[in-house]
Amino acid sequence: MALGERLKHARNSLKLTLNDVESRTQIAVSTLSEFENNKREPKLSQLKSLADLFRRSISFFLEEGEVVPETVLWRERPTTPRAEEMQAQLLALAEQYHHLEIWCEDRQEYQLPMDSSALETYDFPNAETLANRVRSSLGLGDRPGQTLLRVLEEVCKVKVFHFAFQPTGSAACTLSSNFGAAILLNANNVRWRRNFDLAHELFHLLTWRIFRQTVSTETAEPTEKEESLAGCFASVLLMPQDAILSAVNTAKAGRAKLGFDDLFEVARQFDVSIEALLWRMKSIYRIPPDKVRGYIESFQGQIGFWDDRERDDPPNRPLRFHVLARHALRKGMISAGRYAEYLGISRREAMQVVEQDASDDAEVEVAYS
């Protein structure tokens, strides 16, 4: 695929018209058309402007061979910003993360316990079995929600990012032979909602080769059945049955019913929402669905109050991303300009980091005898 075709591919993947590109780069439509039809090559400054707009590296446009399709799986495609822009940003950050790993010689293949079950017979018992196997193999214990994010990032090398977008009830994931596994969570959600979303997207990564085996397009939508399986997996993974039974019995203290404060305490222990806990209790205690909906409705005001109190602001890039970028900058592997680009900060802020590192540079001597 020639440079012009790659430019057109990048533009189409964002669903931008030539007029859209002209308005954002000040490059005339006629000139852009000549670029895409290989009648003329862009100057380096023009190529840089287009690469920035398309959220691609310049090297992407100079490579040879066919473009490998990049599949991003959305639970619900965002409306603000547009899904195409969000997914381009996700892929760009995952690629940058991959570059940092290589430059810092800290590159490890993602290590997820992938599922190899057959698509034709995959059902809810498979999802439950997978959840129990993953919890055991990753050593998540009885309260998986408290450690899941850290284990996925540090042990499994999954790249987890947080962006703010609408609607809030959505998340995304992707699996690449290049940069590995990546998950996008919604920064607008509270932590316990993000925890469930994280487990939900983990299911899609673990079963990627089962459900995506026939998908060759750049975007894909999960079926309703697949989403239900992902929800089942997340519920069983985050709330092990024996641990829930024990926690509920302790909260009941011999009483027949649980109040909001009791439910909140159990949900807090497992780092999940009260709604998620109630739906898990439905499966364990065989509570009719209509009753669960009634409980959720009656607790709605209190749930909203606690959600507002516990709202936080997660970083859009993982801590390990920041650490690798800082290391690469300190060792001269990347420039201050590249550091600013990767961290989404101004060049001035990047130079302040350089100056601070120069003045604070110190090492700890560790002797072993």
**Lookup: tokens for 280:** 């898990």
Residue 76 within a domain: no
In the predicted model, is pLDDT for residue 324 greater than 90? yes
pLDDT tens digit sequence for 330-355: 999 999 999 999 999 999 999 998 88
**Lookup: tokens for 43:** 């100057």
Question: Which domain-ending residue is among 196, 222, 238?
Answer: 238
**Count of other CB atoms within 10 angstroms of residue 44:** 9
Q: What is the pLDDT of residue 193?
A: 93
> Which of 54-63, 112-121, 229-238 has the highest average model confidence (pLDDT)?
229-238
Residue 355 within a domain: no
**Are 275 and 223 part of one and the same domain?**
no
In the predicted model, is pLDDT for residue 359 greater than 70? no
In the predicted model, is pLDDT for residue 280 greater than 90? yes
Residue 324 within a domain: no
**Are 23 and 96 part of one and the same domain?**
no
Integer distance in angstroms from the first to the last C-alpha of the chain? 59
**Are 142 and 192 part of one and the same domain?**
yes
Average pLDDT for the chain: 91
Domain with residue 27: its CATH number is: 1.10.260.40
Nearest-angstrom CA–CA distance, 134 and 233? 10
**Are 114 and 229 part of one and the same domain?**
yes
Domains contained in the chain, number: 3
Q: What is the pLDDT of residue 362?
A: 57
**Are 93 and 232 part of one and the same domain?**
yes
In the predicted model, is pLDDT for residue 65 greater than 90? no
**Are 120 and 207 part of one and the same domain?**
yes
CA distances from 143 to 51, 139, 240, 262, 267 (A): 44, 10, 8, 17, 10
In the predicted model, is pLDDT for residue 216 greater than 50? no
Residue 354 within a domain: no
**Are 58 and 28 part of one and the same domain?**
yes
In the predicted model, is pLDDT for residue 69 greater than 80? no
Q: What is the pLDDT of residue 310?
A: 76
**Are 212 and 256 part of one and the same domain?**
no
pLDDT tens digit sequence for 128-183: 999 999 999 999 999 999 999 999 999 999 999 999 999 888 999 999 988 999 99
**Are 156 and 25 part of one and the same domain?**
no
Q: How confident is the model at residue 122 (pLDDT cuts 50, 70, 90)?
A: very high
Residue 343 within a domain: no
CA dihedral 337, 340, 344, 349 (to 10 degrees): -130
**Are 232 and 246 part of one and the same domain?**
no
**Are 187 and 125 part of one and the same domain?**
yes
Q: How confident is the model at residue 369 (pLDDT cuts 50, 70, 90)?
A: low
**Are 57 and 103 part of one and the same domain?**
no
Residue 344 within a domain: no
Residue 310 within a domain: no
Q: What is the pLDDT of residue 91?
A: 95
Task: Answer for the pair 107, 159: CB distance below 8 angstroms, yes or no.
Answer: no
Q: How confident is the model at residue 307 (pLDDT cuts 50, 70, 90)?
A: confident
> Domain range for residue 271?
241-298
Residue 328 within a domain: no
User: What HEC string does the chain produce?
Assistant: CCHHHHHHHHHHHCCCCHHHHHHHHCCCHHHHHHHHCCCCCCCHHHHHHHHHHHCCCHHHHHCCCCCCCCCEEECCCCCECCHHHHHHHHHHHHHHHHHHHHHCCCCCCCCCCCCCCCHHHCCHHHHHHHHHHHHHHCCCCCCHHHCHHHHHHHCCCCEEEEECCECCCCCEEEEECCCEEEEEEECCCCHHHHHHHHHHHHHHHHCHHHHCCCCCCCEECCCHHHHHHHHHHHHHHHCCHHHHHHHHHHHHCCCCCCCHHHHHHHHHHHCCCHHHHHHHHHHHHCCCHHHHHHHHHHCHHHHHHHHHHCCCCCCCCCHHHHHHHHHHHHCCCCCHHHHHHHHCCCHHHHHHHHHHHHHHCCCCCCCCC
pTM attached to this predicted model:
0.90
The predicted model gives 87-108 an average pLDDT of 92
